Amino acid sequence: MQLRIARVEDIDGVLELHYRYQIDSIAEEEKKDGFVTTPFTSGQLRSLIEEEQGLFIALEDERVIAYVMAASWRFWSAWPMFAYMIGGLGELEYHGVKLSVDNSYQYGPVCVDRSVRGSGVLEAIFEFARVEMAKRYPVLVTFINRINTRSFAAHTRKLGLEVIAEFGYNGNSYYELAYDTARPSGNLPEFLLRSEIVDYDDPAVRELAARLSDGLEDDEAIAEACFRYVRDEVRHTGDHHDDITTWKASEVLRYKTGWCYAKSHLLAALLRANGIPAGFCYQRFGCGEYRDDIHCLHGLNAVYLCQYGWYRVDPRGNKEGVDAQFSPPVEKLAFEPGEGEYDLADIYPEPLAVVVEKLESNRSYDAMIHDFPDIRTE
């Protein structure tokens, strides 16, 4: 996926995407999945690009799969609804600052193609646009139709926008929201993306992620539910001597078994599917449980929780002498490094290449215990 500021030659692709989901052209039964309200012409988009540099796009194979519009209130004032919002702007405050046309801008509309929704594209393009607009304005302002529940959930839960007012216009009801552009997107886009390994677009993975989060209100509760499922419901391949090596998240779920690395792939997929940033961590231990005088990597996760920041968890599975728990902010991992053992310091958005290589090539229990992934950082 490529993110960039749109050029004039991108207008046709943006309009094609836009009118696929515009409220006047989308089918009634599809509105529950999100829609865009304002119609646009080619000339208006040209002005947005040339005068404001305010059209940001995501491309995949040269096809526009998402866009974000963002511009000054002066630009938007030509539309009656935006003129109405400008009239009430001076009555609003955000974090103790009275809003004006000089210290804020209008964000949106934003549109993401259905084929890539839930894959981190929204978070990535939002962050890209935020960085550019933060050079000009300290506050982002936008509105969302109250019936557009999908967009409201995505922007408040995933991106962290805050409701500052509600208003009615032309027979419709809207939320008005704001965001501090100096604050990086709390959902850390690269830790939300899908990949071949973290394949949370797989139907079974997505269904499980939705089921585990059903009825839960905050990221900590959802993260704990996902952690407990992977820890308790997926067998540790080594503990059970399962003669199969899984690696992709969907494969781990299908066979309900995985080495520590593979279980961390599934947990990351479930968390990211729920809009919770998740990364990969590693420790280097002696592996005398399987063979004498060898060392290997142990894989676990880090999850980004709004209240605590990054927090490590280990879903490898408990047994006698192993008691990994979810109890933020206190870490309770499966193992603690001893003499000659250590934690790798980084949190990785993707599994280490050596881990993937060994999981792909060692397809049996015996092959794996004779060729564990390892790396030296000293």
Short-list 333, 341, 283, 290, CA closest to 312: 333
Mean pLDDT of the chain: 90
The domains found in the chain, sorted by start residue, are 2-187 (3.40.630.30), 203-369 (3.10.620)
- pLDDT at residue 148 in the model: 84
Question: pLDDT category, 377, cuts 50, 70, 90?
Answer: low
- Compute the average pLDDT of residues 265-292: 91
pLDDT of residue 37: 63
pLDDT of residue 47: 95
Write out the H or E segment, with its range, that includes residue 20. helix 11-20
Out of 25-34, 286-295, 321-330, 368-377, which region has the weakest mean confidence (pLDDT)?
25-34
List, for residues 39-78, the tens digit of each pLDDT value.
788 999 999 999 999 999 988 888 899 999 999 999 999 9
Q: Are 207 and 270 in contact (CB under 8 A)?
A: no
Q: Which of 148-152, 236-240, 253-257 comes out lowest in average pLDDT?
A: 148-152
Radius of gyration of the chain (CA): 23
Do the bridges between strand 257-258 and strand 235-236 make them parallel or antiparallel, or are there none, so unpaired? parallel
Asked whether residue 31 carries a pLDDT value surpassing 70, the answer given is: no
So what's the pLDDT on residue 19? 79
Q: Closest Cα partner for 295 from 339, 244, 233?
A: 339
How many angstroms separate the Cα of 204 from the Cα of each of 151, 175, 214, 252, 254?
A: 24, 34, 15, 11, 8
Please enumerate in sequence order all residues whose Cβ is within 8 A of that of 250, keeping only pairs 6 or more positions apart, or say none: 199, 202, 204, 205, 269
pLDDT bucket at 124, cuts 50 / 70 / 90: confident
Q: Percentage of the chain with pLDDT > 70?
A: 93
The helix/strand count (H/E) of the chain reads as 13, 17
Q: Does 128 or 169 have the greater pLDDT score?
A: 169
Q: What is the pLDDT of residues 77-117, one digit of tens each?
A: 999 999 999 999 999 999 999 999 999 999 988 888 888 87
Average pLDDT score over residue span 344-369: 94
CA distances from 113 to 36, 187, 224, 287, 310 (A): 12, 20, 30, 46, 30
Query: Please, are residues 115 and 61 in contact by the beta-carbon 8 Å criterion?
Result: no
pLDDT of residue 30: 59
Closest of 124, 163, 149, 134 to residue 1, by C-alpha: 124
- What is the edge-to-edge ordering of all strands in the sheet holding 278-286? 309-313, 295-305, 278-286, 342-343
Across 76-197, the runs of DSSP E, i.e. the strands, are 93-94, 97-98, 104-112, 139-145, 162-169, 172-180
DSSP symbol at 319: B
* pLDDT of 328 over the 70 cut: yes
pLDDT over threshold 70, residue 187: no
> For 350-359, what is the mean pLDDT?
96
Interior angle at CA 82, CA 46 and CA 164, nearest 5: 125
Q: By the 8 A CB rule, do 190 and 288 touch?
A: no
- CA–CA distance, 373 with 299 (Å, rounded to integer): 10
Mean pLDDT of 335-353: 92
Q: List, for residues 214-236, the tens digit of each pLDDT value.
A: 998 788 999 999 999 999 999 99
| Residue 251 predicted with pLDDT over 80 | yes
